[in-house]
Every structure is written in C-alpha cells, then in structure tokens.
Structure 1
Amino acid sequence: MNNSNFNRIKELLAKKGKTSIELANYLGVNTRTVSTWCTNAHQPEVATLYKISDFLEVEAGELLTPKNELKVAAPGKVKKKRNS
C-alpha cells in the first residue's frame, strides 16, 4: 500500500499558507510529530484529525481523501431519490 495516500496534511498546509510549526503550536505537539504526519510516516489520532481540520478550516474528510478521489457534484446535478 502506498503511504503517500493516507493523508493530505502537508498539501493542505501549503494550500492554506500555513506552516507545520504553526500547526504544532496550535495542537501543542512537537514539530517532529507534525513532520511524521506530513510525510505519512505516522498518522494522527482521529480526534487530532478534527483539530487539524479546524486549524486548516477544511472538512476532516479532506485530510484523508486523495485529491484525485475527491468528487464534487456540480450544482443542480444532484437528484433526490423519490419514494415509490
């Protein structure tokens, strides 16, 4: 299994213009810990993922879903299921 697909923390930090040091300070963890998450050497706990998503102002699922697998419905393209 390719570890590079476990999380997108590094990518989203860059996209949001934030640093791993800022994230470490926000979470109260060592910068080495954040580094291991960014390189996918280790993964944060679920509760920590939610804190990271708050810091980055994204949905928690965005941290885990590889960018090429994100699927967004175009406005007006979502159909409601009718009850029979």
Structure 2
Amino acid sequence: MNRIKEVLKQQGRSQMWLAEQLDKSYVVVTNYCNNKKQPSIPILRQIAKILDVDVRELLVSTKS
C-alpha cells in the first residue's frame, strides 16, 4: 500500500496535477492513489522526486 493520496493532500496538490507531471492518465494515477494498482519502483521514485519527498514517505510501513 502507498500514501500518495495523503501526501498530495498534505501538499495541496491534485491527482490531475500529478498525472500531468508523470505524463500518465488521470485513471492510472487515481488507481495508484486508491491503492487499486501499485506503481513500479521507478515510477514511485519519480513520484517522490516530483513531490520532493523521500520515497519512504510514500510507503506504508510494514513494521510497527
């Protein structure tokens, strides 16, 4: 699972904006944000770069 939707909200950015930055369709980004599909590692790194966050901030920790 990922936290892309939460990070976008924290930054006041939209899924449409991210789709444009990634040159992906809105549907693809919405699927990432709603955890219906997970981005590949290279795409996740690209998202982190666009959002100017550490890639780990986009992931849900697997340890408590």
Same fold (TM over 0.5): yes
1:1-84 matches, within 5 Å, as: 6-66=1-61
Structure 2, unaligned runs of 5 or more:
none
Return the alpha-carbon distance in structure 1 between the equivalents of residues 39 and 16 of structure 2. Answer: 16
Higher Cα Rg, which structure: 1
Return the alpha-carbon distance in structure 1 between the equivalents of residues 2 and 60 of structure 2. Answer: 7
Superposed CA RMSD in Å reads 1.1
Return the alpha-carbon distance in structure 2 between the equivalents of residues 30 and 42 of structure 1. Answer: 13
Higher relative contact order (CA 8 A, sep 6+): 2
Structure 1, unaligned runs of 5 or more:
1-5, 70-84
**Percent same amino acid at aligned positions?**
35
Q: How far has the Cα of 1:24 moved from its partner?
A: 0.4
Moved over 4 A (4+): none
How many residues align? The count is: 62
